[in-house]
A and B are shown apart, each in its own frame.
Chain A
């Protein structure tokens, strides 16, 4: 799985939970909250969808790792690998 793959999966989740957001130009290095209107309730949903769709557990203390697309892929790729192993 590449960074792009992981980021695409995260963007798919965001598109599902926040269909009113324009995701065409999300910069991977910038915090999601600085470019999109997402709050803590939305981040809870990102975490819940990761679990539902991919069996990935993100404990609450790790939520900061989901701040930007870059940090998401860095944090999630090992997790994707271990659940698919």
Chain B
């Protein structure tokens, strides 16, 4: 998705652009697939950064301007409402930060002024600075929020939706995520991520951009500190003045013939996830499940780290894509119940095929039941009764389809905000440049195309 956005920017100003995609579907981490006639989104729970029409100076507005896309084209529909659910305490939030504020005021009356100060601090933070030094978000935020429970609760959604690092995040990243989730909000197109991808593809095509699908880059030949030629999967070689790579930092380095094939090992992300999907014969709201997204944790502290077991079911994310305000009586044809938890890539990778299938079955069951502890109680067997289809992805699936080493959804733990690599004309965009989420991915492609190519040529 970052590559598509970069491609649009470059094509807009007359550059000849070719996008190479190894997969058969566009979108990268934010892609889609069909199975047994059903359409699924790969990663999308929500488009973050949602603001109402007319709100100025936000990432969403910048995105539409930079890509010259009409806001209506994405068809974003706002969420119903979400919550963070920890033992004995729930904080609801919507696309209006006043709701979260009043929840904090009720549950943590001594912290509300601190929270307001934190919001002010974050509002002054410029997310598009490319030269920021990484600092600990935990330390910075703890100067404002002094209750460790509230601290964990505020971090939980932000880490799940965009931290490549275990336990802590960079404060700049925290500020971006905080704004995108709490100060702005969640939305989703009725047709899911494919609507956004369709718009980007049409825009790119209209500007004369070219694509080559099912054809990745096998090797980057280098000379004199430059990417000199790309060797493609189909054996062709091509040259380009500039190369933008959205496949990841270490993944890109390892394609370069001037670096050892094992380079960058320490920088492979450690965080991967499993996700279970239950398709229902009814709307989740009919079961009393009306939230859009629930970030849950039942442990004393919130632990965001690669689990020792195959999965860490103590915390996770529940998503009901049905629960958006689609308007004019529109509802998704079937109910969708998605549950995500952290998972151990090495553990899943080591399983033999039969063990793998058995583990999937066991964990599907466990996750669905775990999630139900955070939902309005329903009679036993309800879940089985209304489930008409199941699907699931594991760290192995992520590696297979995204090429991310270690099945690391959010990529390397150390980001390269300015996108530079060791080669003069090779730049990173997307996940490992550091803007995450769907809007982040597009803005990453835009910023890198602007910064490295348009500004200079």
Contact = CB atoms under 8 A, between A and B. Distances in A.
Given A20-B61, A48-B454, A52-B14, A41 B66 contact: yes
B10 to A, nearest CB: 11
Contact of B65 (A42, A52, A60): A42
B14 A45 contact: no
B13 A17 contact: no
Contact of B450 (A16, A17, A41): A41
Contact of B68 (A17, A39, A51): A17
Nearest to B447: A41
A59 to B, nearest CB: 11
B450 A44 contact: yes
Interface string B37-59: 00000000000000000101100
B62 A52 contact: no
Contacts of A16: 68
A41 B54 CA distance: 19
B455 interface: yes
Q: Which of B12, B14, B62, B65 has the largest count of A CB atoms less than 10 A from its CB?
A: B65
Nearest to A36: B56
Contacts of A42: 65
Given A42-B65, A45-B66, A52-B14, A37 B450 contact: no
A32 interface: no
Given A42-B65, A48-B13, A37 B56 contact: yes
Contact of A44 (B61, B64, B454): B454
A41 B454 contact: no
A18 interface: yes
A69 B55 CA distance: 25
Given A44-B454, A48-B454, A17 B14 contact: no
Interface string A22-39: 000000000000000101
A69 to B, nearest CB: 19
Interface of A: 16-18, 20, 37, 39, 41-42, 44-45, 48, 51-52, 60
12 contacts: A16-B68, A20-B54, A20-B64, A37-B57, A37-B61, A39-B62, A41-B66, A42-B65, A44-B454, A48-B13, A51-B13, A52-B14
